[in-house]
């Protein structure tokens, strides 16, 4: 681990906050939360949709979450003498805390209903939702971090993945970052989130089904073979080093989409070796820089870590990062309109090989 110390405190409403300090002499746990906050909300409600065999979370309390506040009222900046934020200390390196408006938590409403109709069971959205602040610099971005700070972030995600995977009822741990108002961010400060899902999400279920079918037919690992084929073809490879390859998927759904995968199959971030963790940052920062240079302005994106599930099917997982943007031209966005939103059937506007060429040239 590259962080020197780990200090956990409780905010005034009982939520947990953890400082990950890069300097062992840092003592940020001594700063109390001076706010008077109401108790955290109850967790979301999971409703089963029998028509597609999926669970949908309903979290009405998230309607009131903070929306694009001015920089001097940012809840992710360190606290000052004039403003108490979510982070009581006057500075930090990387910090993680329970989301004030969580999609999932362990706080169950006492009168939770159990069904709406005989076909639609209902259950609490038991899990966890955390916020990860990558830097105290409000005006920075993940792409502006140093490789050393990226390594700290990776170690923090490993720490949280391990802890959240142990929670009762958690099916998968999902770290991600949303960047840009075009994506729908509600806070400008550089940050990501981690969801501990109580059910296996639809995309993961599809990936598990495909991987299991491929293993039954061939006896081999699907993602390992896809990665090997891309490394051999090289047509869509953006960059690589001893431990990682970044490539545009041959059947990319998004205008600009890159997957970063370790050459060695691992289930999740905690399983990465020190060498693999060190090698990730320089390659990822290079790809992020290419995204921003593509149109000469900050690229909106979603960065999603696909990790193995916690229970059955874990052996089918292959850790990889999916990075994609909805921007398809300098002045055009890819909207999920009729086919994508209603049918889940994607139509990409850019040929993946062309996207790879543009990213290599950026």
Q: What is the pLDDT of residues 292-327, one digit of tens each?
A: 999 999 999 999 999 999 999 999 999 999 999 999
- Here the tokens at position 87 are 């982070």
CB of 100 closer than 8 Å to CB of 55: no
pLDDT in tens, 24-45: 999 999 999 999 999 999 999 9
Regarding the domain delimited by 203-361, which CATH topology (the fold level of the hierarchy) does it fall under?
Answer: HIT family, subunit A (3.30.428)
Contact between 142 and 190 under an 8 Å Cβ cutoff? The reply is: yes
**Strand bridging mode 191-197 / 128-133:** antiparallel
pLDDT in tens, 166-224: 999 999 999 999 999 999 999 999 999 999 999 999 999 999 999 999 999 999 999 99
Q: Report whether pLDDT(111) > 90.
A: no
- Other C-beta atoms within 10 Å of 91: how many? 12
Q: Which of 188, 189, 191, 320 is catalytic?
A: 191
Q: Which CA distances in Å does 303 have to 11, 203, 257, 258, 284?
A: 28, 15, 10, 10, 11
Out of 1.10.3720.10, 3.90.180.10, 3.30.428.10, 1.10.10.10, select the CATH number for domain 5-199: 3.30.428.10
The 10s digit of each residue's pLDDT in 44-98 is 999 999 999 999 999 999 999 999 999 999 999 999 999 999 999 999 999 999 9
Q: Do 5-199 and 203-361 agree at the fold level?
A: yes
Instruction: Indicate the pTM of the whole model.
Output: 0.97
pLDDT per residue as tens digits for the range 220-243: 999 999 999 999 999 999 999 999
Q: Beta strand pairing status for 191-197 and 244-247?
A: unpaired
pLDDT (0 to 100) of residue 113:
82
pLDDT of 244 strictly over 90: yes
Burial 104-115 (b: 16+ CB within 10 A, else e): bbbeeeeeeeee
The pLDDT assigned to 90 comes to 98
**Degrees, nearest 5: CA angle 20-24-28:** 55
**Which whole number is the average pLDDT over 153-168?**
98
Residue 249 half-sphere exposure toward CB, CA atoms < 13 A = 20
What are the structure tokens assigned to 75, written together? Answer: 């809840």
Q: Write down the mean pLDDT value for the chain.
A: 97
Delimit the domains of the chain by residue range: 5-199, 203-361
User: CA-CA distance, 195 to 306, in Å (whole number)?
Assistant: 12
Predicted confidence at residue 1, as pLDDT, reads: 80
Residue 138 is a catalytic residue? no
- Sheet of 244-247, strand order: 5-10, 16-21, 94-98, 128-133, 191-197, 172-179, 301-306, 320-325, 256-262, 244-247, 237-240
Cβ proximity of 13 and 88 under 8 Å: no
Looking at the chain, how many residues does it have? Answer: 362
- For tokens 């990665």, the residue is 227
Label residue 264 by pLDDT band (50, 70, 90): very high
Up-side HSE of residue 160: CA atoms within 13 Å toward CB? 32
- What is the predicted pLDDT for the residue at 157? 98
């Amino acid at each position: 681990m590259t962080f020197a110390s780990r200090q956990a405190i409780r905010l005034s409403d009982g939520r947990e906050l953890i400082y990950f300090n890069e300097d062992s002499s840092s003592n940020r746990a001594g700063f109390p939360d001076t706010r008077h906050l109401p108790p955290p909300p109850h967790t979301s409600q999971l409703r089963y949709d029998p028509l597609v065999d999926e669970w949908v979370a309903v979290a009405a309390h998230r309607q009131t979450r903070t929306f694009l506040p001015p920089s001097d009222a940012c809840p992710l900046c360190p606290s000052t003498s004039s403003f108490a934020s979510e982070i009581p200390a006057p500075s930090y390196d990387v910090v993680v805390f329970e989301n004030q408006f969580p999609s999932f938590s362990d706080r169950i409403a006492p009168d939770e209903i159990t069904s709406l109709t005989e076909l639609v069971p209902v259950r609490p959205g038991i899990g966890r939702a955390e916020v990860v602040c990558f830097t105290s610099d409000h005006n920075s971005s993940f792409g502006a971090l140093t490789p050393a700070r990226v390594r700290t972030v990776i170690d923090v995600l490993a720490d949280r993945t391990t802890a959240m995977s142990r929670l009762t009822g958690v099916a998968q741990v999902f770290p991600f970052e949303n960047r840009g108002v075009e994506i729908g961010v509600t806070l400008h400060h550089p940050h990501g989130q981690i969801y501990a899902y109580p059910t296996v999400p639809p995309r993961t279920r599809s990936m598990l089904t495909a991987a299991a079918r491929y293993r039954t037919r061939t006896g081999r690992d699907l993602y390992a073979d896809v990665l090997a084929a891309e490394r051999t073809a090289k047509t869509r490879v953006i960059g690589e080093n001893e431990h990682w390859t970044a490539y545009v998927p041959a059947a990319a759904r998004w205008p600009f989409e890159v997957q970063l995968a370790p050459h060695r199959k691992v289930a999740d971030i905690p399983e990465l070796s020190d060498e693999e963790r060190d090698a990730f940052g320089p390659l990822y920062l290079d790809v992020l820089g290419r995204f921003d240079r593509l149109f000469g302005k900050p690229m909106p994106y979603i960065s999603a870590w696909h990790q193995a599930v916690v229970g059955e099917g874990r052996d089918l997982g292959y850790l990889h990062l999916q990075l994609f943007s909805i921007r398809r031209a300098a002045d055009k966005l890819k909207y999920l309109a009729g086919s994508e939103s209603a049918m889940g059937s994607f139509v990409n506007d850019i040929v993946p090989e062309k996207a790879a060429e543009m990213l290599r040239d950026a």
